[in-house]
């Protein structure tokens, strides 16, 4: 059983007229009331003297009594539908379903004499429509905040009691889908993804690379994203919002998206909690900088088998979920100008090795001192053979003699026949960047 609560309307008569008309494909058969707020509402489908105008008038009575205090959009509309394989419910069962949903949403609490006026209309076997006016008997609006989730929760309970198909429901962790207006605006700008989707990808990638909240905002700005940090009066960060350069509204202002609108897990509280240190620094360690995201992913992947064996299902599922999200967010290559937080190339253990097809080099001769000298390894005057050697080139591994230092050389191409035999002094390779 599923529900759909539409946007509030201002025309009660127009909504009722749609229910009692035949429909575009004559799908509205035998429209009639299955329940109402007092059980005595006029039914234009079953009573000869009842009209739609009469039904709309009694529903709007309190709206007219409230006058200016009544909301402009006072019509509340909810549809409830069963699955195709479910048994057909009777009118009495549908009336019970309507009352339970109205009670759960706060539109018409059970036993409340001042509840909103409502009717439930049925014109098909598998669903009903509930229409209510959002003015109570004391001329105040109802408290129906979060009505969709409350109605959906009540439908889950009804499914079990009536033996209906139990629909798999979400946990509100999925990202919001782009609207049609956002998609058309992106197409006009020549983009396949909407600004919301592009910002979501950028923020997720940045969270995976950052080691703290300050670095998170720094990387976002270096990636060309507009960032607006919102703070409490005390100066603490309350939240943030981001925008893309060039993405403006009709007034020429940037279109901002808060972190929570990009994704439930991208709000500032979630990000700060994720980037907060979880283990104390070892005693005697001078640096308090946390390990990079790539190093943490490696460590977490190594610990997952032990966690699944020792921890409960909830903890194991949490580890797997976080690892999957992080791997999905890791970029294939670091973006430019992101600072030292992005991973560097690891230092090679034995120096750069030439490919197997490179010609072999002669082992350098030991020399003494770093003074300028002639080449100790003269090139042969003959042209190199076209058949490459299978011995790869590597750093010299000869054992130095007493008081001497081996020369560090790199592979140099051999001159062709007829070219002068010139050489340059061997140079040391530049030091590799240390692992952060």
- pLDDT of 374 over the 60 cut: no
SS3 content of the chain, % helix, strand, coil (to 5): 35, 10, 55
pLDDT at 232: 93
Contact between 34 and 19 (Cβ < 8 Å): no
Length of the chain equals 436
Contact between 17 and 123 (Cβ < 8 Å): no
Question: pLDDT tens across 182-206, in order?
Answer: 999 999 989 999 999 999 999 988 9
CA-to-CA separations, 255 to 175, 249, 252, 318, in angstroms, rounded? 18, 6, 9, 34
Residue 181 sits at φ, ψ, to 5 deg, of: -65, -40
- Top mean pLDDT of 63-77, 166-180, 414-428 is at 63-77
Cβ neighbours of residue 28 under 8 Å, at least 6 residues apart? Answer: 19, 20, 21, 22, 123, 124
Question: pLDDT tens across 150-189, in order?
Answer: 999 999 999 999 999 998 887 677 777 888 889 999 999 8
HSE, CB side, 13 Å, CA atoms: give it for residue 282: 4
Report d(CA 110, CA 104) in Å as an integer.
Answer: 9
- pLDDT of 411 over the 70 cut: no
Question: pLDDT tens across 279-296, in order?
Answer: 654 544 444 555 665 676
Average pLDDT, the chain: 77
pLDDT at 325: 63
- pLDDT of 53 over the 60 cut: yes
Report d(CA 10, CA 74) in Å as an integer.
Answer: 6
Contact between 266 and 282 (Cβ < 8 Å): no
pLDDT at 295: 73
Q: What is the average per-residue pLDDT within 91-99?
A: 96
| Three-class DSSP category at 144 | coil
Q: What is the average per-residue pLDDT within 111-126?
A: 94
- pLDDT of 426 over the 60 cut: no
Pick from 214, 246, 241: nearest CA to 228? 241
> Is 0.75 surpassed by the pTM of this model?
no
- pLDDT of 52 over the 60 cut: yes
- pLDDT of 366 over the 90 cut: no
């Amino acid at each position: 059983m599923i529900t759909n609560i539409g946007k509030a309307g201002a025309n009660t008569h127009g909504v009722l007229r749609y229910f009692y008309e035949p429909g575009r494909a004559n799908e509205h058969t035998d429209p009639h009331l299955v329940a109402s707020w007092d059980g005595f509402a006029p039914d234009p489908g079953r009573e000869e003297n009842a009209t739609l105008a009469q039904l709309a008038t009694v529903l709007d009575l309190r709206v007219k009594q409230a006058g200016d205090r009544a909301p402009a959009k006072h019509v509340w509309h909810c549809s409830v539908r069963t699955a195709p394989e479910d048994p057909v419910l009777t009118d009495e069962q549908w009336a019970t379903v309507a009352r339970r949903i109205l009670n759960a949403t706060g539109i018409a609490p059970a036993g409340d004499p001042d509840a909103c006026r409502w009717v439930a209309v049925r014109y098909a076997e598998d669903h009903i429509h509930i229409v209510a006016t959002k003015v109570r008997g004391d001329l105040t609006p109802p408290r129906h905040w979060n009505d969709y989730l409350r109605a959906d929760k009540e439908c889950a309970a009804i499914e079990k009691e009536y033996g209906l198909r139990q629909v798999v429901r979400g946990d509100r962790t999925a990202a919001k889908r782009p609207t049609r207006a956002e998609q058309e605006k992106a197409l006009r700008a020549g983009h396949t993804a909407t600004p919301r989707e592009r910002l979501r990808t950028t923020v997720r990638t940045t969270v995976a690379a950052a080691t703290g909240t300050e670095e998170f905002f720094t990387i976002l700005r270096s990636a060309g994203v507009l960032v607006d940090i919102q703070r409490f009066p005390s100066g603490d960060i309350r939240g943030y919002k981001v925008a893309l350069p060039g993405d403006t509204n009709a007034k020429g202002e940037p279109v901002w998206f808060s972190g929570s609108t990009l994704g439930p897990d991208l709000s500032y509280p979630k990000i700060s909690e994720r980037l907060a240190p979880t283990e104390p620094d070892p005693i005697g360690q001078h640096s308090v900088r946390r390990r990079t995201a790539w190093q943490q992913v490696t460590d977490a992947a190594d610990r997952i088998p032990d966690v699944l064996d020792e921890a409960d299902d909830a903890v194991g599922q949490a580890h797997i979920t976080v690892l999957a999200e992080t791997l999905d967010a890791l970029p294939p290559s670091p973006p430019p100008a992101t600072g030292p937080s992005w991973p560097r190339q690891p230092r090679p253990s034995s120096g750069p090795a030439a490919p197997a097809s490179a010609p072999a080099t002669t082992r350098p001769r030991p020399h003494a001192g770093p003074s300028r000298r002639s080449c100790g390894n003269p090139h042969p005057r003959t042209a190199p053979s076209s058949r490459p050697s299978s011995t790869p080139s590597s750093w010299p591994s000869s054992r130095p003699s007493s008081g001497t230092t081996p020369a560090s050389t790199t592979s140099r191409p051999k001159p062709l026949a007829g070219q002068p035999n010139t050489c340059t002094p061997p140079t040391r390779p530049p030091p590799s960047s240390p692992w952060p």
